[in-house]
Homo-oligomer: A and B are copies of this chain.
Amino acid sequence: MTDSLDPDDWGVFRAEAHRLLDASLDRLEDARNRPWQPVPQDVRDGYHLQSDEPGQPIVQIVTTLQDQMMPYATGNTHPRFFGWVHGTGMADGILSEMVAATMNANCGGRDHGMVYVEREVIDWTRRQMGFPQGASGVLVTGTSQATVIALQAARVRAMANVRATGQTDARLTAYAGAGVHNAARKALELLGIGNDNLRLVPTTEDGLDLAALGSQIIADRAEGAIPFAIFGTAGSVDFGDYDDLNALADIAGDQGLWLHIDAAFGAWTRLADAPYRQLTDGIGRADSMACDFHKWMAVPYDCGIVLIRNETEHRAAFAARPAYLTGMDSGLAGGDPWFCDYGVDLSRGNRALKVWTAIKAHGTAKLGRTITANCERAAQMGALVTATPPMAMAAPVVSNLCVFTADARLEPDAQSKLNMQISQDLQNEGVAVFSTTLAVIGGKSVTCLRAAITNHRTTSKDVEIALAAVARAAGHA
């Protein structure tokens, strides 16, 4: 018995690790037969941690991980998981996470390989998005976090001393289309700007209404507010809509406002074929953008990125290093710039390696083909809905989202109830996972079924099976 937490017997540990790896690969290879399932009460009870937990042999740990943990995942690895916007993950994620856990690098800074890998991932993303050379970025948990970072940079541009003085009584206002993701609101709350100061601008078929945006900015200025940022949306969470990013860049330039693009999943149409690629035209003109790798790029959770056009503005919002973090010209304390100066976190996990591995293993073109294929399958689903009354679409399919009602003949409340019931039933049966959202159909608000297809395992056949299940659950078949 030593004080070390290393295995007492590396041979035993190694054998058990290989057993667990086989179980992991078995599970992933069989993903098609492993939908979400509820967690039985006795399994949940088995998760309990006693205050004086005694410790267990590794063989028991591995058995528990295999039998009591692995089966009870979110289910987003299943080919008919279309709920919310969940990435599917992929097998090489197991490899990169295994290596990351072995290395256990702190990517907050210093001079080591994973810092250089992260710079490569950021720069590859910068080029795909069309941001200029010299733009900066940092990997984060996801778009919510990236939005906070981008918005703080935008605020520091508008109020140079805000890091010292705080928000004071200057009323900063931000602008977004009505379908903007809730992350925008949460970021404004966290920063002390206030969600009252998020101006929701009406949207048209072409995204945010540009005339209404202009009028609102003028009206706010007249009232003494300081307009400082526009949120553009590239892939709205409800319907997969895209704002006209070039038009927003023009307005932001004219008005001297910071343009931030929420592109959590939608950014990756940049890798897709026409007509999907065109949806993100102009994204490279923004001052900042946020997107995820764990959604449409299928790297394991969690991993997102913020890109900021002007590195000086990025650093002005976050750089700060006390004495014990002083850099040096050689050794571990070299490696400037350090990523801790580009966001909130000082200790940082290794998110770069899993992205790097995914890009290197699959290549840019194949990653793009999965994006195109997902959009094509959403279009297929939309066509099937339209061809199968009384199912009806809530909105046209623009990219990878399909929102519909199972029976348009019913009263709105009855439709909502039916759609919610179908969503739950198909989840519980393990057939398919649709989530729900509110949509306006015929002037009435209806809770609809919603499929966000960001799943590289989804085939045309899966779309047919899922829609047939909806029809059956709705009593049409």
Contacts and interface: CB of A to CB of B under 8 A. Distances in A.
Interface string A104-122: 1111001111101100110
Interface string A327-350: 011111100000000001111111
B192 A192 contact: yes
Contacts of A318: 186
A5 B64 CA distance: 29
Interface residues of A, number: 183
Nearest to A358: B5
A73 B114 contact: yes
B14 A55 contact: no
A359 interface: yes
Given A171-B166, A196-B166, A298-B5, A49 B323 contact: no
Given A101-B89, A349-B141, A61 B120 contact: no
Contacts of A50: 364
A318 B237 CA distance: 20
Interface string A374-416: 0000000000000000000000000000000000000000000
Contact of A301 (B38, B62, B104, B116): B104
A144 B346 contact: yes
Nearest to A77: B104
A120 B91 CA distance: 28
Contact of A128 (B51, B70, B74, B424): B51
Contact of A22 (B14, B75, B94, B423): B14
Contacts of A101: 24, 89, 93-94, 96-98, 300, 354
A28 B102 contact: yes
Contacts of A344: 144-145, 148, 186, 190
A28 B84 CA distance: 39
Interface stretch (A252-260, A275-283, A427-435, A469-477): A427-435
Given A4-B457, A112-B72, A17 B95 contact: yes
A87 interface: yes
A190 B103 contact: no
A136 interface: no
Interface stretch (A40-48, A202-210, A307-315): A40-48
A59 to B, nearest CB: 11
3 shortest interchain CB distances as A-B pairs: A166-B194, A55-B363, A72-B113
A242 B124 CA distance: 45
Contact of A423 (B127, B164, B333, B435): B333
A88 interface: yes
A304 B348 CA distance: 11
A433 B334 CA distance: 13
A320 B70 CA distance: 30
Interface in A1-20: 3-7, 10, 13-14, 16-18, 20
Interface in A182-198: 182-183, 185-186, 188-197
B104 A61 contact: no
A235 to B, nearest CB: 13
B5 A366 contact: yes
A122 B36 CA distance: 24
A300 B364 contact: no
A41 to B, nearest CB: 10
A238 B324 contact: yes
B162 A64 contact: no
Interface in A26-81: 27-29, 31, 36, 38-39, 43-44, 47-56, 58, 61-62, 64-65, 68-77
A429 B9 CA distance: 30
A324 B419 CA distance: 13
A332 to B, nearest CB: 5
B111 A332 contact: no
A221 interface: no
A95 B186 CA distance: 35
A285 interface: no
